[in-house]
Amino acid sequence: MHMEFTTDELAFRDEVRSFLAENLPEHVREGARNTPSVFVEPDIGDEWQRILHAKGWLGYHWPRDVGGTGWDPVKRYIFEKECALADAPSLSVLGLKLVAPVIAAYGTPEQKARFLPRILDGTEKWCQGYSEPGAGSDLASLKTRAVLDEPTQTYTVNGSKIWTTHAHYADWMFCLARTDLAVKKQAGISFLLIPMHQPGITIRPIITLANDHEVNQVFLDDAQTHAQYRIGAAGQGWEIAKFLLENERGGSCAAPRLLADIGKLRALAREAPSGTNGAYGHLPSVEARIVALELEALALEITELRGLAELKAGRRPGAQTSLVKLVASSLRQKIDEAFVDIFGPHGLQLPIERPLYGNAAPEPIGSRAAQLATPTYLNGRAWTIFGGTNEVQKTIIAKTVLGL
């Protein structure tokens, strides 16, 4: 397996670096650096999306024939790595990386023309209606019900969704709903696109331990959507859901951003006092801890590169996406814990204001990095839950790789 970048790929890397240096505003970088949550605030996220859209680089996970870049997996990896090193904000995955590839793969020409341009230009935002109270890890047990009225070709949807990220900003929800009760539970699910701005939808905020408002509970009470907004056939939702979850778990390159954060961790540790006549980072136990994190991240990067080689060869990565998700989520939490430890008491502050950048940001105790430590740690407890819990990933690996 060839693991070195080609001359063309290295030239593309240099092009990305130059673009980021010239076009990524410093206030957007600052906002990304000082965001403790997985999802950046819309002000900097939307601005960065507009910049990439103007360049033609926004739909970098999309085929060229639907408005994307058509980049192969290696170019996507290079782009994400350089963005991580440059402190670019993470793009919202909900429209760009989750529902858009579904529409591109399973949608009709009319559906592609209706939705994909509006995802690219940012005029319509999305949320994901998967998890429910009592149907999170066991997603096939979902209870949300959609009934089709044949004469009007309209679905009436009843139920609730929970942990719905950015529902309070969304114009549309891509939703799994049960449309057939007479078949086994996986076979009776359909993939529906539901407009959020209608009387049948109520959004209840969920404020996390970190004081972030990212997630919500959404109640659907006789909410409606037309059959033309069903992606795929009736009952095909479980197949589409698995396609989407594979993209969510393995469609991004986690290691570069983890390695970038470990670099920041090392730099801060070299400045933080240890209380024993030296820097915290010079303590042998701390140095060993950071090196162990770095080695694990480098091993993850090699695994991701192997996955890229599989994708470039036209093969699906399969269970490897679960392995990457499992390791990346756990490593993310270890890094967050190390940041809290570096700052001692200053690392325990938990401001309730948001955002933690710009003129309205609260004054930090010690430093802005110290102020971010605990909110980031608390927000990051969700890493081993969303996109499939660690336990789910281990079960997938046990079944598909180990044959247990």
* Beta-carbon contacts of residue 80 (< 8 Å; ≥ 6 apart): 252, 253, 256, 257
The answer to whether residue 294 is catalytic is: no
In 10 A of CB 288, how many CB atoms? 10
Q: Which helix (H) or strand (E) holds 344?
A: none
Q: What is the dihedral of CA 86, 102, 248, 124, to 10 degrees?
A: 50
**Residue 19 corresponds to which amino acid?**
F
Question: Among residues 214, 248, 301, 304, which one is catalytic?
Answer: 248
Residue with tokens 């907004």: 229
Question: Cis link prior to 89 (omega < 30° from 0)?
Answer: no
Identity at 221, one-letter amino acid code:
D
3-state helix, strand, coil in the chain (%, to 5): 50, 15, 35
Residues with Cβ within 8 Å of residue 299, at least 6 apart in sequence: none
Structure tokens of 28?
A: 């957007």
**Which amino acids are annotated catalytic?**
248
